Homo-oligomer: A and B are copies of this chain.
């Protein structure tokens, strides 16, 4: 009779161990298909366990289809056809608990937020309030565009700070701008040709490519994208950041904006995606007005994110769809669940409602302005002035720096890397030929530690002054 040594199985429930023993023997062919298993009572007696243990094992084997029961006769092994399937080899490799830690002293390619500027205490307090007061609401599946409370707050914010009149129903919240992009592509369909700014944010073209829609790079002049080029190339949808182009920092003048809007109004399927990713972080004056706010033809898809204004690791972005696209979205894409957790949506809504967001934004602007001034001052003091040119714009958490040297860009990047500094050459944001010779770098300073700025400048001077 079938027997197993159940002492080995002490660490598990007995019945689980027994189930596994029988299962493995069936898989290995040691118990043949059609074979009758011992009766529960006899088997239990033989193994020295309770009948319930055998019963539980048999039930698990039945549930998974290894055995079947014939009423009043007993339990039989199912037929497993020889499908030639190999059993899974368990690799010896254990689960590693190591984490990667960035070893840079300074990473000028990163948009990460400095922990010093995240409003930890207010955010934690707000979460606690929400978790106490909104328990029922937190469990309610939100509409596809996100919870109404947050969309209303965003609409009010856009009205007050960006001069935009939008209805909360036009606002769609999603886990990052990249995700919203995939929705836009699904919304507009594949018969659309997308234009990508050159230079620009490299992920945009990667998303078009992975989503398998046609796209083409479009050159810019000093005012941004040219409508004539869009006509020539047969572009239908163009992604731009008119208030602060990434990475060049160009602010598109109002005349060019009107020309672009006129281009968009020329055909029904033309749209402009306005990515307003960091224009709220303008230090001088107020933020540049949005294209959306002057667009009377309703051809602008407005996108924004809390990655810069809160932190890059809270994944909350939103888009404002024109009326016609909003209706299309509700018709064809409303089945999608919102990708942002209710917990964070309610927390952010409350954070905006009670004035914390506005306070935080003022603090943030102040912080970045000071940080930028300090970095530029240290660079000015420590680096030879004829070797660098800073190209400033008043916005956001990066500036452009030209390095005047005979060394190649590659050489600079490698030498910096040796010293623990990651540089981001502007040429990386170009597709194809780069139209100048200067060694030009994008300097994202949001993640740079102020305590190390003297050291960083010292290391840079070693490279620049050779």
Chain A residues at the B interface, C-beta cutoff of 8 Å: 15-16, 19, 27, 56, 59-60, 63-66, 78-81, 83-91, 93, 95-100, 102, 110-115, 118, 120, 123-124, 127-128, 131-132, 135-136, 138-143, 147-149, 152, 155-156, 159, 165, 167-168, 175-176, 178-179, 182, 186, 190, 202-203, 206, 210-212, 223, 251-259, 261-262, 265, 284-286, 288-289, 292-298, 311-316, 332-333, 335-344, 394, 447
Contact = CB atoms under 8 A, between A and B. Distances in A.
A132 B127 CA distance: 13
Count the copies. Answer: 2
Contacts of A60: 285-286
A253 B139 contact: no
B297 A314 contact: no
B254 A64 contact: yes
What is the interface of chain A mostly: helix, strand, loop, or mixed?
A: loop
Contacts of A176: 337, 339
B85 A138 contact: no
Given A120-B135, A124-B127, A343-B344, 5 more contacts: A59-B285, A64-B251, A128-B128, A186-B211, A313-B341
Given A81-B258, A85-B258, A59 B284 contact: yes
A458 B103 CA distance: 66
A37 to B, nearest CB: 15
Contacts of A186: 210-211
17 contacts: A78-B255, A80-B255, A81-B259, A84-B262, A85-B265, A85-B297, A87-B296, A88-B294, A99-B148, A100-B143, A115-B135, A115-B136, A138-B311, A175-B339, A175-B341, A186-B210, A190-B212
A341 B312 contact: no
A114 B100 contact: no
Ordered nearest first, which 6 A-B pairs have the shortest CB separation?
A65-B253, A86-B296, A83-B262, A313-B342, A175-B339, A65-B254
Contacts of A96: 152, 167-168
B139 A312 contact: yes
Contacts of A335: 202-203, 206
A140 to B, nearest CB: 6
A8 B394 CA distance: 29
A424 to B, nearest CB: 14
A28 to B, nearest CB: 13
A178 B332 CA distance: 15
